[in-house]
Structure 1
């Protein structure tokens, strides 16, 4: 005896069962549209974490190289270690609104002359005075010195250091190190500054931040996006399907046996 099968009916029964499972179509459509976006953002943050690891490795490799005299370099690169002899002039600037460990202060930028070339050197951070109107005292050695540090690019703007006039009549508080400032100082390389390393005896508080955010932070953001995606799936199951009611019904049937 031959048993007839009905694949079309079986498929229709399955489709009706899946449709019957969904009780809230607007929320279902919303979840279908939002879920891929949340997952994509999570993987994007993981890619950012990998990029930051590569950047940190490149920076560490560059900083571990032997320091060179920037006057002899044909091509300057960010974070290239440098070492040069010379002396500080009395031309210095207070870069405003710089913080270290939650304290407000300034980064001190001062002109350094090596041979016949002038460089703008960021000596590091110092705390602000109690009164905003009083700038902290800056001292520097009058004798010739050898400084060590690394190259750091200037912001490609055309302001005047953040809206402050560069007059040369004493120390100036500035808001940014840009092309407007460096272009007025007759520097050898106006597009570059030198940030002192901590072992340079003329350095203030350095503690330079090489990257804006760590790989661990991007990983944390990624897991947050993935957690939101999982929460969305759970919310959809609870609020847009009849699965909870079916589970309760099955549980009652099980306990009734």
Structure 2
């Protein structure tokens, strides 16, 4: 006599239904957001690579200042006015990122990121810097961050040099006449360059894709648990397995 066939049936639990209705879209959204971030990072890497392959141009010939464009410039450093960006860590060592001010021949001024320098662990004494004398020719690439710095109401110092957490170029443009709306990141071979090993991006596209896979995997596991808890699918599989053993 043929055994009756068992069909898939559901017995929905409102608690698990509510949980998956909230959690599943969130997990999927996080996964797709990570994929979007991966695409954005890849586009940034491609643009940076393409621009870095271009020959360096005179910064004073530019009408706009795209990030990662190789440039050169001549000017005189203002050795009295510069910034020490605080809490910059390299290989576990505390230090500062040095931002200098370069006076150009036409009266304009340019922010120059000289690089990183180690600091006194006690934070009592600022590092001593050396400065090229007279007119110098600098080479590097343009970079101005588009991210808004996080601040807890930091009081910006008035005296020079200024030690602070972040630089706010928009604010400096109102304070310093003729300041160009960009920052020159020095190449390591350029005069006045300090330690210039910089990360282009903090998280690679591959890592973002890995994070996306994790979110999608969690969504798949959650969906599987929901199906098992709210249906007779396990009984169906067990029944088929038992019939197969009898045959």
- Which residues in structure 2 correspond to 1:29-44 (within 5 Å)? 30-32=19-21, 34-44=23-33
**How many positions carry a matched residue from both structures?**
237
Q: Are 2:78 and 1:89 aligned?
A: yes
**Structure 1 residues 254 and 78: alpha-carbon distance in aligned structure 2, compared to 1, 3 A threshold:** closer
How far is 1:146 from its partner?
Answer: 1.1
RCO higher in structure (CA 8 A, sep ≥6): 2
Q: Are 2:180 and 1:163 aligned?
A: no
**Equivalent-residue separation in structure 2 for 1:33 and 1:183 (angstroms):** 47
How far is 1:202 from its partner?
Answer: 1.8
2:132–2:191 contact (8 Å) kept in structure 1: no
Query: Whose radius of gyration is greater, 1 or 2?
Result: 1
- Which residues in structure 2 correspond to 1:73-84 (within 5 Å)? 73-84=62-73
**Equivalent-residue separation in structure 2 for 1:80 and 1:199 (angstroms):** 17
Structure 2: gaps of 5 or more residues: none
- Residue in structure 2 matched with residue 203 of structure 1 by the alignment: 193
1:111–1:119 contact (8 Å) kept in structure 2: yes
**Structure 1 residues 76 and 51: alpha-carbon distance in aligned structure 2, compared to 1, 3 A threshold:** same
- Give the alignment's TM-score, normalised by structure 1: 0.79
**Structure 1 residues 165 and 39: alpha-carbon distance in aligned structure 2, compared to 1, 3 A threshold:** closer
- Residue in structure 2 matched with residue 8 of structure 1 by the alignment: none
How far is 1:253 from its partner?
Answer: 5.2
- Residue in structure 1 matched with residue 115 of structure 2 by the alignment: 124
- Which residues in structure 2 correspond to 1:180-199 (within 5 Å)? 180-189=171-180, 191-199=181-189
1:68–1:82 contact (8 Å) kept in structure 2: yes
- Give the alignment's TM-score, normalised by structure 2: 0.81
- Residue in structure 2 matched with residue 135 of structure 1 by the alignment: 126
**Structure 1 residues 79 and 46: alpha-carbon distance in aligned structure 2, compared to 1, 3 A threshold:** same
Superposition RMSD in Å = 2.9
2:157–2:163 contact (8 Å) kept in structure 1: no
